[in-house]
A and B are shown apart, each in its own frame.
Chain A
Amino acid sequence: MGVTLEIQNLHAKVDGEDISILRGVNLTIKQGEVHAMMGPNGSGKSTLANVLMGNPAYEITEGDILLDGESILEMEPDERSRAGLFLAFQYPVAIPGVTVANFLRHAINARMKEQDPESKGISIPAFRKMMMEKMGKLEMDSSFAGRYLNDGFSGGEKKRAEILQMAVLEPAIAILDETDSGLDIDALRIVAEGVAMLKGPNLGTLVITHYQRILNYIKPDHVHIMFGGRVAESGGAELALRLEEQGYDWVREKYGEPVS
């Protein structure tokens, strides 16, 4: 029995605004499964990713999110992370003055201290070895570790750094928010192969994307279409292919323009 993320009738809005962006999302992701979430702009995909991670810019008005049967609504983002949730950001934030290595070591140590408050954290040689190994797999130069996190990174470097963090933190459930957007073919290949490499029985993945092409690398078990703040359609890999060929017009016709 692996970890399960259950999203139940989730409603959410931007904190301080009136209009709901999520209007009753239902979705269950189990460890070992790959789910793709597609949908037109403004359908609520990125909001869902942020709400799952606990971004304080959003407010949940109804519904629940359960991780392993326990509600995580009251948990801070750092607690959710340590509980096994991971978000690869669409727009990773630059943190000037904090190196990639320093940041990753803090993140690992936070996990070790959660398990054992007495823990002194990972030793520097062990950490370096582990980091260099994972960076090598993602075709990242070792100088990357000494750079300030996301500061002056190219689009491809930012996304690779997200996957590196995912590789290091080994989450149970990972949400990839448009990790493929803004990447050229080579960068997409490296990032997608990186994700594919992490696939396995211990990782459940929600791949949020506009495009079929990343799904050629990360074969989804389930494909969902988000529309008007709900999961409108669910199916297998064929659903993604249908979107690739026909676009979203048929979805709009079937479900109508979202009402405010």
Chain B
Amino acid sequence: MAVAIRRRSSAPTAPSYTLEDVRALSEAHNEPDWLRTARESAWELYEDLPMPTLQDEEWRRTDYSRIRWDEADKLVQANGAKADVVPEANREPLVGEAEGGTMIFVDGGLVHYTFSEELKSQGIIFTDLRTAAIEHPELVRENMMMKAVKPTDGKFAALHAAMWTHGVFLHVPRNRAIEQPFHVVMYNTRPGATMGHVLAVIEENAQALMQVEYASASAEQQSVYIGATELLVGEAANFRYVAIQDWNRNTYEFSHQRARVGKNATLDWINGTMGSQLTKAYLEMELDGYGCNARMSAFFFADKDQHFDLDTQQNHNAPLTTSDLLFKGAAKDVARTVWQGMIKSLPQMQKIDGFQACRNLVLSEDARMDGIPGLEIEADDVICSHAATFGTLEEEPIFYLMSRGISRPEAELMVIEGFFDELLDRIPFERVRERLMQSIEAKILS
């Protein structure tokens, strides 16, 4: 007993990385000098920042002290596992037989890569981030962690910038419209730390669609995922982005995800959170260009003792911009979810239209869901509204369905699935919708 207590008190409260680990990453992949410099300056920043605590406003509802950093911070090394270890459901094409491009990472290593020759010949770049840093240094250097997510965004953003392990780079040059989706899977078979990066640059008047899936095999030991997602949507461009997280129950995710949306551009961003032990994600939209339109839709379902903390921002940085945020989530058992959202605008940003809503379905007495909407609007000619609602499963619709011969468990399932349907309906891939409905069903029945 005494031993256990002593071990606990001496357990590290932060990762044990050193500058040597940062350099070793660069060395192992023979990275160009600019990237080494970028990593090392991010490392300095990381060292200067304190670990977030419950005393920080953004973190006061999320206690991650259960992480055993001495096991979770070990960088995962790819050990030759092939794409076939990834569940079929994650690997199968999103729609039809072919995709614009597919990348499957296992334990941080790229194990499967396809990219349409036709798209390649059009000048589109879809490659893993390490390769991109060597083959397209200017494009990566000017965009990666320079415009959307920055190392200064926080402790974990700085750590990510210093130590990212793998990533994907999508670049669509101006005036290129691509119908076939890009599909990325980041799958881990082994516990430990991975730090994936998603960088999408959609140039002026271009159009594209991408889905990224995160998942891992269950493991006894803990894992951490320190991620960053950057979506740069240029003037009059149109980008649809779907991200679905289904980590194993011993994974802690800390991620910064931010989109910048240019003049008259459209962003349609869908986010799903199903897995992990604990997730703290910043999901932010910067509406930079006059007349742009950005939508963020998210679904989440927490069960057992899962903890999700989703922190959103809709920053209206230009007049006549429209943002629309809809989150729908459920929690059962002793799960805990937090959504805190903010719509911001500066005084001169007139004629903006911002909306945010978070609908919470509380499925057990011991589950707890928080929804904290926020507005900071300094302009006066604006339409901004927000709502957070909380409900339990109502008896009325259940009775109605049962009166048609449907059993109670099935009726409950239908009502809960119906609750999510409106959101899943926004995902442009039927196979993905069906798969997600199945995992929601599994959580309801578990």
Residues of A within 8 A of B (CB): 53-57, 76-78, 80-82, 86-87, 89, 92-98, 102-103, 106-107, 110-111, 114, 148, 165, 169
Contact = CB atoms under 8 A, between A and B. Distances in A.
B422 interface: yes
Say whether chain B's binding surface is mostly helix, strand, loop, or mixed: helix
22 contacts: A54-B403, A55-B399, A76-B407, A77-B399, A77-B402, A77-B403, A81-B404, A92-B400, A93-B396, A93-B397, A93-B399, A93-B400, A96-B422, A97-B417, A98-B415, A103-B404, A103-B414, A106-B414, A107-B405, A110-B406, A110-B410, A169-B405
A111 B415 contact: no
Given A57-B395, A98-B414, A110-B410, A87 B403 contact: yes
Contacts of A169: 404-405
A82 B405 contact: yes
A103 B405 CA distance: 11
A81 B403 contact: yes
Contacts of A107: 404-406
Nearest to B413: A106
- Kindly list the 9 A-B residue pairs having the minimum CB-CB distance in the complex, ordered from nearest: A97-B418, A97-B421, A81-B405, A77-B402, A107-B404, A93-B400, A98-B418, A78-B402, A110-B405
Q: How large is the interface on B (under 10, 10 to 19, 20 to 34, 35 or more residues)?
A: 20 to 34
Nearest to B328: A97
B355 interface: no
B115 interface: no
A89 B402 CA distance: 13
Given A53-B403, A81-B403, A165-B404, 5 more contacts: A56-B395, A82-B405, A98-B415, A106-B410, A107-B404
B404 A97 contact: no
Nearest to A81: B405
A111 B407 CA distance: 10
A86 B406 CA distance: 13
A81 B401 CA distance: 10
B419 interface: yes
Contacts of A165: 404
B20 to A, nearest CB: 53
Interface string B365-408: 00000000000000000000000000000011101111111111
